[in-house]
Structure 1
């Protein structure tokens, strides 16, 4: 149970980070482009955290939170060997790089194949067609493999909780009191060694390094508090009794005016201004006027504007309607 919870801990931090950045940039429009790099910012922070906890505690950030540590399984099946530098590098790769790549691939697939823009042609590139065909199966196999390992681990058929642990030859165990005491002894010895060093800049570097290390040590408390605060604000904003219901609804804006040379507005409310026939498959232009979908699609594709107001628009700004009782 703890292993499942720790595997969900880091991904749950990303929505909180996105919310914090959006709130911080509400009145700073020049900083909006930063949101395009939310994945890089998030996984950069994850890299710093994971590197710190692997270096000092032989565990990931979330594993350390639950009092777990990674140990190497030797060739004869015995457990207990500490992590070496290569093990920590591989751990960083699977903790940071692999999730980052998967996030980017998921977004690419969703943008181009799950929710494509209206009117966009099917992929013509053979590589894109292959990706569209294969990627869902790759994701299904990826997730099914993790699920299978978790089931086998739960019933003691394997000592590896996930396939990455199997590839690296790791397993996890609970930290014991001797483990904690050993970490404290190492930290104390490092502080004593740094105190023996002389020179202003060396002392300044050691001071800044100590502050940074202590901040990372307390990052669990900081991040958990942030998540709690984020969830509290999310609940607060969704709770009906805290929402203002007595505010007056502003009047609708006046309809846009017909441009000189624009198509006339039909007298019949259910007629299309382009074909002057009863609308079929109604859709709305950016100006708010309603047309037949085929008529408006063809017109916008050729002219890049609203037929009545000449307001600039693109194909993806056409909105389909499912109630033709709109004038």
Structure 2
């Protein structure tokens, strides 16, 4: 048991704690955005949702680092850092929440991804002590906890609540977007356009093409020219583009 405790964490543990950290961040960001949008007095702060979410996650990590020497996600998997002073904790918070501001740009992001791949490769196969550039800069190693800290039920409940709220509002938003779509009016029972004729040129279909947005069929040339000018279905007036064009095959005599 002691050998397991003193060994380096596995690739699975590192990956899962990284995913948990990302999930926690996304949940907090989503919850903060909803709170700022739904509360009129807080609406002016909605443009600072990223900063507010970063502060909340930083406070959570600060408390966890002071009590367990590991972040919330690291402590969840019984991992910790070889931190020797409080200044190391604040250095981590500074770099961890400032680094994304730089790597969001293409070139710094590519450089960081390359360095992260190298450090992870060295960590797994060449006994390198740091699994990411962030740990290398801070000179902090990720190790297993010698003393297992029990995570309070309040923190676990908070994590589950954040994820449940995110799932609820995400699904609700998806349903509202579907309900907000324009309803396609049914065609007239007695159409003045004969069967197998293009609604635009009133001639027999030439290279028939359907619009996925409305379901009506036209000649390829007719509907392409119409969409380039009006960007809408000529029958239902539903907004459409060239991406909505679908080639169909019709039997002879149809």
Q: 3-state DSSP class of the match of 2:80? A: strand
Task: Tell whether 2:12 aligns with 1:9.
Answer: no
Taking the TM superposition and a 5 Å limit, the aligned residue runs for 1:178-189 are none
Flag the 1:6–1:284 CA change in 2: closer, same or farther, 3 A: same
CA distance in 2, matches of 1:36, 1:66: 34
Which residue is equivalent to 1:170?
Answer: 140
1:301 CA drift (Å): 3.4
C-alpha distance in 1 between matches for 2:96 and 2:152: 18
Alpha-carbon shift at residue 62 of structure 1 (Å): 1.1
Shift in CA distance, 169/286, structure 1 to aligned 2, threshold 3 Å = same
Q: With CA pairs under 8 Å and 6+ residues apart, which has the higher RCO, 1 or 2?
A: 2
Partner of 1:313: 239
Q: Does structure 1 conserve the Cα–Cα contact (< 8 Å) formed by 2:28 and 2:162?
A: no
By how many angstroms is 1:277 displaced? 5.0
CA contact (8 A) 2:25 2:57 kept: no
Cα separation, partners in 2 of 1:226 and 1:284, compared to 1, 3 Å: same
Name which of 85, 90, 96 aligns with 1:82: 85
Contact persistence 1:285–1:306 (CA under 8 A) = no
- Alpha-carbon distance in structure 1 between the residues aligned to 2:126 and 2:58: 31
Would the aligned equivalents of 2:212 and 2:245 in 1 still touch at CA under 8 Å? no
- Pick from 255, 279, 291 the counterpart of residue 186 of structure 2: 255
Q: Please point out which of 43, 46, 58 is paired with 2:57.
A: 46
- The answer to whether the Cα contact below 8 Å between 1:285 and 1:291 also exists between their aligned partners in 2 is no
Residue 283 of structure 1, CA deviation: 3.4
Instruction: Choose the corresponding residue for 1:221, options 156, 166, 177.
Output: 156
Aligned residue pairs: how many?
A: 216
CA distance in 1, matches of 2:206, 2:102: 46
Deviations 1:231-265 (A, max 9, x none): xx9xxxxxxxxxxxxxxxxxx9862459xxxxx86
Alignment CA distance shift 1:320-1:57 (3 Å):
same
Instruction: Tell me the equivalent position of 2:180.
Output: none
CA distance in 2, matches of 1:37, 1:294: 49
> Quick one: distance in 2 between partners of 1:219 and 1:293?
61
Q: 1:296 aligns with which of 200, 215, 223?
A: 223
Query: CA 1:14–1:60 in 2, change beyond 3 Å: closer, same or farther?
Result: closer
Show CA shifts across 1:204-227 (max 9, x none). Answer: xxxxxxxxxxxx965542255459
Note if contact 2:233-2:240 (Cα within 8 Å) is conserved in structure 1: no
Q: Does 1:274 align with 2:200?
A: yes
Cα displacement (A) at 1:165? 0.8
Residue matched to 1:95: 96
| Gaps in structure 1 of 5+ consecutive residues | 73-80, 106-130, 181-215, 234-251, 259-263
Matches of 2:50 and 2:60, distance apart in 1? 15
The residue that corresponds to 1:152 in the other structure is 122
Whether the 8 Å contact between 2:208 and 2:217 is mirrored in structure 1 is: no
* Deviation of 1:291 (Å): 2.6
Provide, for residues 44-78 of structure 1, a one-character-per-residue CA deviation record: whole Å limited to 9, x for no partner.
64333223323444322111223333235xxxxxx
